[in-house]
Amino acid sequence: MSKRHVLAVLSAAAVTVLSLSTPLPATAQGTPATAEAPAAPVELAGVKYPANVEVAGQKLVLNGAGIRYKAIFKVYTAGLYMNAKATTPEAILANTGPKRMHIQMLRDIDGEELGKLFTKGMEQNTSREEFGRSINGVLRMSEIFVQKKKLKSGESFGVDFIPGTGTVIFVNGALVPGEAIKEPEFFNALLKIWVGKSPADNGLKSALLGGAK
């Protein structure tokens, strides 16, 4: 046997041994190399946000929750639920599945004032065209807050987006009567108050994206 032939045989044997002794990547063994951490419940200023809720028969996970501050004062807590976690505003807004935004007050606030603040927040974070397509929802939400007159500390409201139905609003856990807001742009315009380019609170934006509270 020639020297060249011997070297070729030894090289092939070494490759075989290495292939048998080197563990397969986790994905090749059937286990994901990285797994999304499960949602965990969060408690903020005494307000509890469960890890999961159900909207339109679908299980949603807590994407993030945080506190809205004005100067040094805590105004409300907010929690965002989605059918899959997202860590960027673009991913949140691109998700067409059901969503829930839940707000619980930590201070008393005039309903009409809150409605104006939300309207201003939407205007600052949307184009004129997008805001125009959301106007029916803006007017509906403003009307709800005007009728409520005041949201007191401990009271809450929620906004659910249900694909094929639209956006529905809850006050203190009770569904506000009336038709759903059908314009699909409205819910995203509302979300941009908190995750848009000019958010109401940068710390809250980070928290809703799953960052620090």
Q: pLDDT tens digit string along 192-206?
A: 999 999 999 999 999
CATH number of the domain encompassing residue 135? 3.50.70.10
The answer to whether residue 119 is domain-embedded is yes
Residue 114 belongs to some domain of the structure? yes
Note the pLDDT tens digit of each residue in 166-193. 999 999 999 999 999 999 899 999 999 9
Model pLDDT, residue 84 = 96
In a domain, 192, yes or no: yes
Kindly tell me if the per-residue pLDDT of 208 is higher than 70: yes
pLDDT of residue 20: 37
Chain segment 137-149, per-residue pLDDT in tens: 999 999 999 999 9
Q: Is residue 14 part of a domain?
A: no
- Is 111 contained in some domain? yes
Largest CA distance in the chain: 97
pLDDT at 179: 92
Which residues constitute the domain of residue 124?
A: 42-208
Q: Say if 113 falls within a structural domain.
A: yes
For the segment 125-145, the average pLDDT, to the nearest whole number, is 94
Q: Are 147 and 135 in contact (CB under 8 A)?
A: no
DSSP line for the chain: --HHHHHHHHHHHHHHHHHHHSPPPTTTTTS-SS-PPPP--EEETTEEE-SEEEETTEEEEEEEEEEEEETTEEEEEEEEEESS--SSHHHHHH--S-EEEEEEESS-EEHHHHHHHHHHHHHHHS-HHHHHHTHHHHHHHHHHHHHH-EEPTT-EEEEEEETTTEEEEEETTEEPSS--B--HHHHHHHHHHHHSSS-S-HHHHHHHTTS--
Structural domains counted in the chain? 1
User: Hey, what long-range contacts does 47-56 have (CB within 8 A, 24 or more apart)?
Assistant: 47/77, 47/104, 47/106, 49/77, 49/79, 49/102, 52/81, 53/81, 53/100, 55/81, 55/98, 55/99, 55/100, 55/160, 55/162, 56/98, 56/160, 56/162, 56/163, 56/165
Q: What is the pLDDT of residue 184?
A: 85
b or e along 49-72 (b: 16 or more beta carbons within 10 Å of the residue's beta carbon)? beeebebeeeebbbbbbbbbbeee
Whether residue 15 lies inside any domain: the answer is no
Residue 22 included in any domain? no
**DSSP letter string, 79-97:** EEEESS--SSHHHHHH--S
pLDDT tens, 46-104? 999 999 999 999 999 999 999 999 999 999 999 999 999 999 999 999 999 999 999 99
Over residues 10-57, the pLDDT tens digits come to 344 443 333 333 343 333 333 343 455 677 899 999 999 999 999 999
Cβ(108)–Cβ(114) under 8 Å? Answer: no
